[in-house]
Every structure is written in structure tokens, then in C-alpha cells.
């Protein structure tokens, strides 16, 4: 009887330790992940403004994990003026490494330029820089759990 209780106690203790370690590892990975976006004007035409974004994900942590292909919203003066496509693709980030997602295309339709983004269009045509906000949304897959991850970065566009 005493041996059974001892084994159950040891099992519960090991399980609690493993669970706490797992949660600590997830929190560490979530806090340490760094996202660095770069943006440039791909083209401007009568259909609108097309922005090409590259996003670098840096993992300064010892854990390997996957992320979903990032979804990006572009905001100007608090208004969402364009978004990327939602793509169902996993990207692996190695421990102490990085991954780069190239060529995320964001279209700002001419209707958005005429209503909220006229300042953007005017500055770009006059070769001035424009500051916008990029909201990057992805999902971290660490072990058996998925965690939403959102980051807000300021980007500067130049022609």
C-alpha cells in the first residue's frame, strides 16, 4: 500500500514538473521571438498601390517551433487600408536561428487611396517617405499547443 502511494506521488511530482517546464518554455519562446518587417513599394498604377513585405523571424531561444504563414494588415493614421492574403502554410524556425518570409504582397486598392490614403499616394509620387503601421498576425506551434502571436511595427515606405 505504501509503495503504491509513493509511486503515485512520484508520478504526480514528475508530471507537475514537466508541465511547469513546458509552460515556462512556451512563455520564454513567446517573449523572445523577434519579428523584423521590411517594406517597399512594388508598384503604383490605376488599380492601387502594391507593397511587398519581407518578414524576418528571429528565435534567440533553444526551442524549435513552427509558425503559420503571417497575415499582415497595413494601417495609416489608425485606418486599415490593406491586407495580405491568408495562406495555410507552416514555417519552421530552428533553435537560435531565423526564418525569412519573402514577398508578402499587400494591395491597397484605389478606393482606399481615394478615401483614406490620398496622403500616402501624394507623398509617394513626390518621392517623400510615408510612415505606416504593420500588424503581423501568426500562430506559434510549440509542442502540442498553439498560441496566437501579434506584433505591431512601424514601417517607412519610399519610392
pLDDT in tens, 41-77: 888 888 888 889 999 999 888 777 788 999 999 998 8
Q: What CATH number belongs to 33-157?
A: 2.60.40.10
Average pLDDT over residues 13-36: 60
Q: What pLDDT score was predicted for residue 111?
A: 83
Q: Domain ranges in the chain?
A: 33-157
Distance CA 100, CA 80 (A): 24
Higher local confidence (pLDDT), 4 or 19: 4
Range in 2-11, 52-61, 98-107, 127-136 with the lowest mean pLDDT: 2-11
Instruction: Find, among 41, 97, 35, the residue nearest to 64 by Cα.
Output: 97
User: Which pLDDT score is estimated for 33?
Assistant: 81
Indicate the average pLDDT of the chain.
80
Residue partners of 91: CB distance under 8 A and separation at least 6: 57, 66, 67, 68, 69, 99, 101
Decide if pLDDT at 23 tops 90. no
Q: What confidence score (pLDDT) does residue 101 get?
A: 92
Q: Of 141 and 83, which is predicted with more confidence?
A: 83
Q: Are 63 and 142 in contact (CB under 8 A)?
A: yes
Please state, in angstroms and as integers, the Cα–Cα distance from residue 125 to each residue in 45, 46, 119, following that order. Answer: 11, 13, 10
pLDDT score for 43: 86
Distance CA 35, CA 57 (A): 5
Using alpha carbons, select from 54, 75, 65 the residue that is nearest to residue 27. Answer: 65
pLDDT at residue 5, rounded to an integer: 61
pLDDT at 144: 73
How big is the CA angle at 24 (ends 101 and 8), to the nearest 5 degrees? 135
What is the C-alpha separation between 37 and 107, in angstroms, rounded? 16
Contact 108, 82 (CB under 8 A): yes
User: Under DSSP, is residue 51 helix (H, G, I), strand (E, B) or coil?
Assistant: strand
Sign of the alpha-carbon torsion through 86, 88, 90, 91: negative
pLDDT of 78: 86
Amino acid at each position: 500500500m505504501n509503495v503504491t502511494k509513493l509511486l503515485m506521488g512520484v508520478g504526480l511530482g514528475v508530471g507537475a514538473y514537466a508541465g511547469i517546464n513546458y509552460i515556462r518554455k512556451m512563455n520564454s519562446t513567446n517573449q523572445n521571438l523577434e519579428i523584423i518587417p521590411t517594406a517597399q513599394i512594388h508598384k503604383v498604377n490605376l488599380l492601387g498601390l502594391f507593397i511587398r513585405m519581407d518578414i524576418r523571424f528571429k528565435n534567440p531561444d533553444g526551442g524549435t517551433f513552427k509558425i503559420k504563414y503571417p497575415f499582415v494588415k497595413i494601417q495609416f493614421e489608425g485606418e486599415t487600408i490593406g491586407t495580405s492574403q491568408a495562406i495555410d502554410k507552416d514555417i519552421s524556425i530552428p533553435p537560435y536561428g531565423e526564418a525569412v518570409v519573402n514577398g508578402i504582397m499587400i494591395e491597397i486598392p484605389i478606393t482606399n487611396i481615394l478615401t483614406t490614403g490620398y496622403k500616402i499616394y501624394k507623398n509617394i509620387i513626390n518621392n517623400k517617405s510615408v510612415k505606416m503601421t504593420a500588424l503581423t498576425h501568426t500562430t506559434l506551434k510549440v509542442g502540442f499547443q498553439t498560441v496566437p502571436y501579434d506584433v505591431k511595427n512601424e514601417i517607412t515606405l519610399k519610392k
